[in-house]
Amino acid sequence: MQSLQASDFKNKTTVVTGGSSGIGLAISELFSSRGANVYVLDVNQRQGKQVKAMKTESTEKINFIKCDVSSLSDVKNAFAMIDQEHIDILINNAGVAHIGTIEQTTESDLDRIYNINIKGVFNCIKEVIPRMKSEGGSILNLASVASVVGISDRFAYSMSKGAVLTMTYSIAKDYIESGIRCNCIAPARIHTPFVDGFISKNYPGHESEMFEKLSKTQPIGRMGRPEEVAHLALYLCSNEASFITGSCFPLDGGFITLNS
């Protein structure tokens, strides 16, 4: 089988939400390095400025647009700033986490998770569909292993990622005749700055011990890397994956099947 060709992505208009850090940044950098014109939609303007300040071959085609994906008007304005009638690829990566059972989840917690993790995906897909229908395109959503298996103390987060999974199925079904493919990736724990910040905040003085414990929740014995998610995203949005739609791809070090 031939390797992925840079020509698959050359000048392809690609939108990545939450693309200025962690998994989103790895995706943005990889797609840009393959020739895509990447537009990062992110609420964090400070990190966005850091992305724009990076002068490397892999980031020279990354454009930052400040956008709160939970706001439909913000999303509409952001897409209006993308000077392209057609958008080839949308990657819905923006999301936030929450720890707690239903008893520990407040109404404001639930609203925040819903607005970003669910409504944010809805807003971006709703805005991109009219720009894809004429020539087709690829939509990729970042779900989670929590979409398909029960995880303790993750009530609101699991609810939101379950919705991302079923939105993926619905979009794939409704727009297959328009040439629009829609898939999702379901990662287990990925080592990002968020994980490091969570450990240092909640387990001061025990960072190494907790990092090792969290790493071992994946049967493979470690956390995933953002770059590994990015390479799977690259394949799923490539021409080589043109027969794939309505599918969920675990990237979990054996978490789903080997922990059961």
Determine contact, residues 116/39, Cβ cutoff 8 Å: no
Burial of 88 (0-12, 13-18, 19+ CB in 10 A): buried
Our CA dihedral for 49, 118, 121, 140, rounded to 10 degrees, sits at 100
Q: What is the CA radius of gyration of the chain?
A: 18
Determine contact, residues 135/89, Cβ cutoff 8 Å: no
Catalytic residue from among 157, 175, 203, 235: 157
To the query of whether residue 169 is one of the catalytic residues in this protein, the response is no
| Tokens linked to 48 | 């966005």
Residue type, 85: E
**SS3 label, residue 170:** helix
| Tokens linked to 42 | 């992110």
Determine contact, residues 184/168, Cβ cutoff 8 Å: yes
Active site residues: 157
